[in-house]
Amino acid sequence: MNNTSQLATKKSRTSAMIWGNLLALSTSICWGLNEPANKAIIPDWISASGVALGRIFGATILIWIISLFLKKEKIQHGDWKLLWASALMMLGFVYVFSLAFNTASPIDIAIILTFQPILVVLINAIFKHEHVSLLEVVGMVIALGGALLVILGGGNFDSGRLVGDLFAVVCAVTYAVYLVIIEGPSKRYGTVSLMKWVFLFTAILASPLIFTISPDMPIFTHGKVMPWLLLGFIILFPTVYCYLVTPPAIRLVGSEVLAFYQYLVPVITTVVAIATKMDSFHWYQPVSFVIIVAGVILVNYAKAKHSTPLPQKPQ
């Protein structure tokens, strides 16, 4: 290879790394802002089901529009049932995620969702009989301890907040199941081709929630622009944008680099929530975050020895 070719290859790799890091950072920023944005409008301006429907139907419409400009892929007959099952888990994740904001702290929710990759390993071990090493078990126990610290609030028990935190745990579990189900199809189809069907089926399953929407909700009656802007942000960026750019980011910089950026999500959420006086800072939050991240890193380290790194979570 001559000097010109080597220089071109080096520039190409540098460009890929820059774009990959920018995409990874942008998803972390969007997800970090997602919790405060949801908390700002749930339940004062719109119900949890209203936000969930907005995300699901909004993402379905936008992704189908994008798919019109891309090459169509034929879904294999045996994968349709997996897409329906994925849609059911997606509905559970999005809806329960919104419900959590009725009572939970946005900081707590962001920290609890950091625990989600551990659940994927656990689900694969139980239902796919994948081998789990002793080091992975130790990492899981450590991460679980961090999650329990968040849920129990460092001993400062509050029943309303506890319900919201438990909802956050449920949505972490449902998304972990979703990742396990969608793993096979995600290797066979492009991101847009896959997500347009998952979101369409999710929208069909979510249709009964339309009857829970009241025209008397403040977002409809008060004529304020800001709640609509926040809802639009939630639909466009943490939902559509992040779901579509995460796979390219992984291809450009790898899942390990993306994982590093994901640890910024609770930090961004905390800074924004405190700066806007949406939430207060508690000692157990940074402690539990460090414990969970330590557990996830330990499991990822152990898993990397014999397989692929842990998957990352959107919100």
DSSP labels, 244-284: HHHHHHHHHH-HHHHHHHHTHHHHHHHHHHHHTTSS---TH
Series of mean pLDDT values for 10-residue runs along the chain (315 residues): 63 82 93 96 96 97 96 94 96 96 92 88 84 88 90 69 91 91 91 95 97 94 94 96 88 78 90 91 88 89 68 61
Q: How far apart are the first and last CA of the chain?
A: 44
* CA atoms of 57 and 206, how far apart (whole Å): 9
Structural contact between residues 169 and 104, judged by C-beta atoms closer than 8 angstroms:
no
Q: What integer pLDDT is reported at residue 306 of this predicted model?
A: 64
Closest Cα partner for 186 from 255, 261, 98? 255
**Domains of the chain by residue range:** 22-304
Residue 268 CA: distances (Å) to CA of 44, 80, 135, 231:
23, 37, 30, 19
Q: What integer pLDDT is reported at residue 20 of this predicted model?
A: 87
Q: What integer pLDDT is reported at residue 101 of this predicted model?
A: 95
What's phi and psi for 42, nearest 5 deg?
-105, 125
Q: What integer pLDDT is reported at residue 99 of this predicted model?
A: 96
Tokens of 171: 């949505």
CB neighbours of 125 closer than 8 A, spacing ≥ 6? 131, 132
Core vs surface per residue 168-194: b (16+ CB within 10 A) or e: bbbbbbbbbbbbbbbeebbeebebbbb
- The whole-model pTM stands at 0.89
Q: What integer pLDDT is reported at residue 50 of this predicted model?
A: 97
Closest Cα partner for 38 from 215, 194, 233? 233
